[in-house]
Amino acid sequence: GAGGWGTAYQQQPAPKKSGGGRGGLIAAVLIAALVAGGLGGGLGYTLAKDNDNNSNSTTVSADTGSSASVKRSPGTIAAVAAKSLPSTVTIEAESTSGEGGTGTGFVFDTQGHIVTNNHVVADAVDGGKLTATFPDGKKYDAEIVGHAQGYDVAVIKLKDAPTDLKPLALGDSDKVAVGDETIAIGAPFGLSNTVTTGIISAKNRPVASSDGSSTSKASYMSALQTDASINPGNSGGPLLDAQGAVIGINSAIQSTSSGGLSGSSQSGSIGLGFAIPINQAKYVAQQLIKTGKPVYAKIGASVSLEDSTAGATITTGSSAVEAGGPAANAGLKAGDVITKLDDSVIDSGPTLIGEIWTHKPGDKVTITYKRGGTVHTTELTLGSRVGDS
């Protein structure tokens, strides 16, 4: 079973204001991470299989044969899909207790590294089973090289990887424009090798997502938003541009579901999908391959995660601002409200976290903040934190 994966999440009411800290998981956009197809995928396959076994049905094989011989010009979606599909995999993760689900990944290099979402492989982290299946049906056992829960990025490696792997070309997510064509590849509801299309609907969308389980912490991103149909099971799959270059990793959806943790309450795409920009994901993946551990940029201050439109409030308390840390060195204090990071408007704590994590440790940023009704700016050099806390 899906074990409650992929469950849609309604935005939760803000918790009562308290001393702050890293309390309730509230964000500008709170959405469910996309994981297993679960029951939906299983039912779909059962019906399809029954149809295939029906002696009266010949349309499936006839269609497959006729369409394969048609030539597509290089710029078409069909041509991009045909070229990209062989470098995508359907990932199945299973915990030692048998829970798990289905997600997607793509070939990152010729050594057999596959990039996906952390929440796709989370069940297999502590000695579970992990497999990756290519569209031609070839299936490989895989192991986790490194996973970054905060970024929601993971790298796995195929065991006995084939020698003819073709990594997908990586695009430049900073150069993407609203309205650009997008192509998503994944396994929605377990339906492997599904291709959907749309456009970039927005950029720099602050997103905090969770897989809905009680133990998981949030992941934060400054996401690319797309209206390409993305559903549970698309997680970890590539979001491509019109040339077939990866511009993002499909990671989360806004859903209309009323919530709950059973597979039956899963609901699908309403055209609000979110992808981790590839420039960030590439940096994270390279770190994971190199050291096995994620590295996060940090300001050295705790911010309130409560719902807000006013800015990111540094929490009160003796440990809110790390002594000798980047924020302290920049003159920030408990109670300050950060409203901008460089030119990006900061409306909440989660937005600030997502924005900081688009930078690398050592980067210099300009922080605009309010203190007692007065607006100030200061330059801050981002510090670093290794591993998920």
Q: Which residues are catalytic?
A: 119, 152, 235
Of 172, 283, 173, the closest CA to residue 226 belongs to 173
Provide the token pair at 4. Answer: 């409650």
Of 354, 335, 344, the closest CA to residue 297 belongs to 354
Residue pair 151/277 in contact by the 8 Å Cβ criterion: no
DSSP string for residues in 44-101: HHHHHHHHHH-TT--HHHHHHHHHHT----TTSHHHHHHHHGGGEEEEEEE-TTS-EE
Q: How far is CA 66 from CA 54, 72, 260, in A?
A: 21, 13, 44
* Residue 256, helix vs strand vs coil: coil
* Residue 282, helix vs strand vs coil: helix
Residue 268, CB-side half-sphere exposure with 13 Å CA sphere: 14
* Residue 296, helix vs strand vs coil: strand
CA 139 – CA 82 distance, rounded (Å): 19
